[in-house]
Structures are given as C-alpha cells and as structure tokens.
Structure 1
C-alpha cells in the first residue's frame, strides 16, 4: 500500500514533467517512469537496466549534454544542494525541471499523523533558494496540494 501511495504522489510530477520535456533528456534520481527519459541516473545505480550510477553533486556527463534535465524530489536528500543544482544546470542545455517538498507544509501533516519528520530529508528548500542558484526565474511553477512545488527553468 505504501508504494501505491508513493506512486500516486509521483504520478502528477511526472505527468507535469512530460509536458515540458524537449530533446535529449536526463532524469536524476528517478524511481518510476524511466521510459520517459533518454538517460536516467541514481546514486544507487542500476535499479533497472537503463539507470546509470551517478552522484548528483559530481555528475560525469559533459557540459550541456542534455536538452532537458529533470530532478524530482531529490534535492532535499542531498548533503550539498547548491553543488547539486550547479551540476544539474551544468549538464542542462535548454531546460531544467525541479520539484521539491515545501516546508513546513510537507512535514506538518506527517507530524499530525504521528509520522514525524522524514529523516531522509536533509534540507528544506524554497523556490527562491533554488531560483537563486539556478540563476534565472522559473518559466513555470505549480504547487501540488500546497506540499510540493514543481519548477521549470529555461537555461540560456
């Protein structure tokens, strides 16, 4: 049941991302929908055949290698989100898609249900913080149930 709920919560993000994909695409930290992207990577490596092992803070891809880079619900799990954002931007040629949970709105329902803080979330990120480090304002942003924000940046 837990995986069904997580899958349902991920569905909207990937459906929204699909609308914004252009050209050759990379998904960083993908758990589902790997067939939507040309290349997928994750720190844990080959969960499936088409997932490469990569560290988001030290990607081995070339500068501007992908037209679109997608990173949904991953940055809050990194030790250094600034370095991760810079790496995502470095390998993105045209577009960067990012989604993160909005704090405290993400954690308050968890606390109310006595689930507590998600210990895998190492940082709380805001749209302003992400936009500052991407270096441009998003061309699209969407909130989902006031608990997540979905951001699309066009990289010049």
Structure 2
C-alpha cells in the first residue's frame, strides 16, 4: 500500500465527495441551534446546505478556497475565512457549528473564543474521542482519526471539558457514535453478541466522537 492510501490529507479529501452529511450530526446541530447559524470549517458545504433545508439561515466559512468554491456551487453562502479571525461583528449569529475542527487547529482556544464573540446563544462542536486510545493501542488497534495528517490535537473527555470551561462553565460533553469491536470476530461469535446489543443487555464502551455544546453566558436556555 501507498502512504496516501493510509494517511488522509484533508486539504483535498472532500473535493471528490458530493454528499456525506451525517443525519446524527444534523439532528445534533438542529437541536441546539438558534435561527442564524455559522458553520465554521464548512468544507464543501454539506452541513450548511442541509441546515438551510431544515429552515436555518446558515452561512459557511472555511480556510480552503477549493472547498468554498464547491460550497458556493451548491448554493451555500460561503466565505474563505480563518476560524481564529472571523470577519463578522460581535453576536452576528445565534449559534456556531464546529464539526471536526478543533483537532486541526494549532490554537483551539482562540478559535473557541472567536466563536464565542460571534455567537449569541450556543456553540456546537465535535472532535474525535481519544479517551480509550491507550487501551486500543495496547491491542495494536487505533482510531481512523489518527490517520489524518493534519490532526494536531487529540482530546480525552477531561481535556476537552477543561478547554470548554475556559469559554463557559455551561457546557456538556457527550460520547457518540459507538464502535462495536465484536464486528471483528467470526460471525458465529459476532451474531449472539449483536443480539445482546440489540436487546440492550450490552452497552458499548468505545465511542468515536465527542459531541459538545457550549451555552454562552448571555444565554440561559439549554
């Protein structure tokens, strides 16, 4: 195998994709957003477009001009912009989306502070979950998110919580997108274990992502 078959370069990864918006992420964003939404790190604009379809006024920004060009072609209002330097007035939006962004940034705190400046109500974000990384590594396993070349931050739940507390104490961090390790087993072992999960007699212990919400100090609505 070649290196580019293993390690993903997110500067061009999504250019060949047309539709990849996760229904779970869309439900998450919709639940906690106000009417006016800024999608920071919007990539090719899938979430911005789908949020608009759901009735939100959504604007997208991304530092990658190629991604913004593709987002605009989908009808998304989108701009080339740095997450740490948003060219919008204070409290221009009700809510900010930051899906899979903080792990890419050299200064995630500055990006969150800037989001807090621009938003009135809430910030919704996701990052890869590295809380169980060492347990997986001991078994010679790893997360797919390790394979993106430009990931520079690897958050445990405690580390993410500490970061969010610097913006507002009113926040919640949730584990989402379970990883079912039994799928690696032979079918005759996998099948009864799957049944136990379906019956809610077993619960996952590994989750791919953290979903987090920051409620800004001016907003008391949760």
Task: Indicate the SS of the match to 1:58.
Answer: coil
Q: Which runs of 5+ in 2 are unaligned?
A: 1-12, 53-57, 179-206
Counterpart selection for 1:61 from 57, 82, 88: 88
After superposition, the CA RMSD in angstroms is 2.8
1:81-108 per-residue CA deviation (whole Å, 9 max, x = no partner) reads 1111111111111111111111144694
- Return 5+ residue gaps in structure 1 as ranges: none
Contact map agreement 1:34 1:40 (CA 8 A) in 2 = yes
Which structure has greater helix proportion? 2
Q: Write out the 4+ residue segments of structure 1 that deviate beyond 3 Å after TM superposition.
A: 104-109, 113-116
How many residue pairs were aligned?
151
1:111-131 Cα distance to aligned partner (Å, 9 max, x none): 626968332211123331332
Q: Answer with 1 or 2: which has the greater Rg.
A: 2
Q: For 1:132 and 1:86, how far apart are their aligned partners in 2?
A: 11
Structure 2: distance between partners of 1:75 and 1:114: 17
CA distance in 2, matches of 1:114, 1:85: 25
TM-score (norm 2): 0.59
Indicate which of 71, 75, 80 corresponds to 1:48. 71
Counterpart residue number, 1:151: 212
1:142 matches 2:174: yes
